[in-house]
Chains A and B, each alone.
Chain A
């Protein structure tokens, strides 16, 4: 038979994809709300409190406002690329979630359903590949705007992401030497039975954390959209929902990189101090998802805390930090890890 496929498997994966995508969108939506509330708390204000109880409907109001704003495409820009830019930014932000293990297996309708869309044996490299694609959304949009400020913002974003990708990759290599696997699922399983990877790789985690701040264009590394020097940065010419896509993809990136950090270094869906084998499969899975989300919320709060505490770097400082401090530090970490593994013949 041509195209013989397991229909139930396809339906199962489709439902999982829809749930994951919707969940990341909703979480990103409420991250924008949380960001404004956290900023308000740190600055001794009240924050948004008009739309709905405690201002909970604020993200919906923001979204609606963006939808109804006038759509402007500059005359001298390349129209197709101008629309492609924000689309690509959003697409690459959503694609990373495919290899993340959100939880263990659940039993539904007599089937064992894994809460991971695809367990490919190069999981972490896939994430890396998609992240390296993310820069195109910004670069294409900035070039298609036909505006000098946009172009400068786009070039800054590109050089920043390339520079920090190196240190991030090298810190990951050290982690891979410890775990001996590229599959995210297997890493979580290892951490469930042993210690979390943060114990083995504290320096690697620090480097990874700083680099993911830079990769997400978050303060103190938000030079691509430094409004005091570049107006709006790469999205100066964008309006309406196309602008919304750019802003929104930043929050999705933040969410996804929090998930990745929790998975790589903090045990993923592992519940601390609990032996999962004593629970039934479904309870363990649901509690595991909740544990992962709790870790993610901590990371997202850290992202916001840093944003409202530390001022922006100067551009040369950013490059200095990336090339002269982070990369040598990551190389040192890799060498020490290799030496220790060799010594103990692990």
Chain B
């Protein structure tokens, strides 16, 4: 056991534990706060893989921007456990079936995966910003540009919806 393994175990426990807490919490605001903890744990994993850029972008975009918007909406609607309508059993059953089948697919996919050294710990430098930028703008330039067009169209759509009246 070296320090990387210890940190990995701690971060994984943190991620899984707070994900479970997020699901179990009845209060939506507290669920969101637990989800933020999950994002922090995942960023910790990125740092362990020496992908500092990904780690900090994960914090800025997901934990910083998207979660603030979630919190915003939940606070404005003032959702809480009391005001939420009770779901009937049919909905519960449908939820269990669809969730269970997703779990089945994930587990079978994981079983088929060959165990190999998936990532380079510490020595890997693919996540550093210079290498990442070079890869994105040379090897993957077409998918990168297409996804940025997708973002642009989403922004235009948001403006159109906002300007309706």
Q: Are B129 and A121 neighbours in the complex by a CB distance under 8 Å?
A: yes
Q: Are B65 and A182 neighbours in the complex by a CB distance under 8 Å?
A: no
Q: A121-B129, A129-B56 are in contact. Are A162 and B2 (CB under 8 A)?
A: no
Docked pose: A126 CA to B60 CA in angstroms: 9
Q: Which residues of B contact A159 (CB under 8 A)?
A: 72
Interface residues of A: mostly helix, strand, loop or mixed? Answer: helix
For chains A and B in complex, what number of residue pairs have CB atoms within 8 angstroms?
A: 63
Q: A120-B52, A129-B56 are in contact. Are A182 and B129 (CB under 8 A)?
A: yes
Binary flags per residue of B39-63, CB closer than 8 Å to A gives 1, else 0 = 0000000000000110011011001
Q: Are B128 and A128 neighbours in the complex by a CB distance under 8 Å?
A: no
Instruction: State how many angstroms separate the Cβ of A289 from the closest Cβ of chain B.
Output: 27
Q: Which residues of B contact A129 (CB under 8 A)?
A: 56, 59-60, 64
Q: Which residues of B contact A139 (CB under 8 A)?
A: 68, 71-72, 75
Is A158 in contact with chain B by the CB < 8 A criterion? yes
Docked pose: A125 CA to B145 CA in angstroms: 23
Docked pose: A158 CA to B56 CA in angstroms: 20
Binary flags per residue of A86-129, CB closer than 8 Å to B gives 1, else 0 = 00000000000000000000000000000000001110011011
Docked pose: A129 CA to B57 CA in angstroms: 8
Residue of B nearest to A180 (CB): B130
Instruction: State how many angstroms separate the Cβ of A109 from the closest Cβ of chain B.
Output: 27
Residue of B nearest to A162 (CB): B68
Contact residues of A with B, CB < 8 Å? Answer: 2-3, 78, 81, 120-122, 125-126, 128-129, 132-133, 135-136, 139-140, 143, 151, 154-155, 158-159, 162, 165, 182
Is B22 in contact with chain A by the CB < 8 A criterion? no
Q: How large is the interface on B (under 10, 10 to 19, 20 to 34, 35 or more residues)?
A: 20 to 34
Q: Which residues of A contact B60 (CB under 8 A)?
A: 125, 128-129, 132
Q: Which residues of A contact B53 (CB under 8 A)?
A: 122, 125
Q: Are A155 and B2 neighbours in the complex by a CB distance under 8 Å?
A: no
Q: Which residues of B contact A151 (CB under 8 A)?
A: 75
Q: Are B71 and A125 neighbours in the complex by a CB distance under 8 Å?
A: no
Residue of A nearest to B54 (CB): A122
Please give me the 8 A-B residue pairs with the lowest Cβ-Cβ distance, nearest first: A132-B64, A129-B59, A125-B56, A129-B60, A129-B56, A122-B52, A122-B56, A143-B75
Please give 20 more A-B residue pairs, beta carbons under 8 A apart, in addition to A81-B33, A136-B36, A162-B65: A3-B3, A121-B52, A121-B129, A122-B53, A122-B56, A122-B129, A125-B53, A125-B56, A129-B59, A129-B60, A132-B60, A133-B64, A135-B64, A139-B68, A140-B33, A143-B71, A155-B75, A158-B71, A159-B72, A182-B129
